[in-house]
């Protein structure tokens, strides 16, 4: 995979994770343990994408 394609793929992964996380937020809602598990999935995905992004940037 070339450099630009790799960067674009990481950016899309980050955007998808943020969109998924934002869809789980409802103002005024009391969150259950199951809701938190769903949010944690998205948080982990965001963190993984950020780690990949930092590695990609440091390789420039």
**Per-residue model confidence (pLDDT) at position 12:** 96
- 17 and 39 Cβ atoms separated by less than 8 Å: no
Token digits for 10?
């990481």
* Per-domain boundaries in the chain: 3-58
Split at pLDDT 50, 70, 90, the class of 1 is low
pTM: 0.76
What confidence category does residue 30 fall into, taking pLDDT thresholds of 50, 70 and 90?
A: confident
């Amino acid at each position: 995979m070339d450099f630009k394609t790799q960067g674009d793929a990481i950016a899309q992964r980050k955007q998808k994770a943020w969109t998924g996380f934002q869809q789980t937020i409802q103002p005024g809602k009391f969150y259950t343990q199951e809701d938190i598990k769903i949010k944690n999935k998205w948080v982990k995905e965001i963190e993984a994408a950020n780690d990949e992004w930092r590695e990609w940037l440091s390789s420039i």
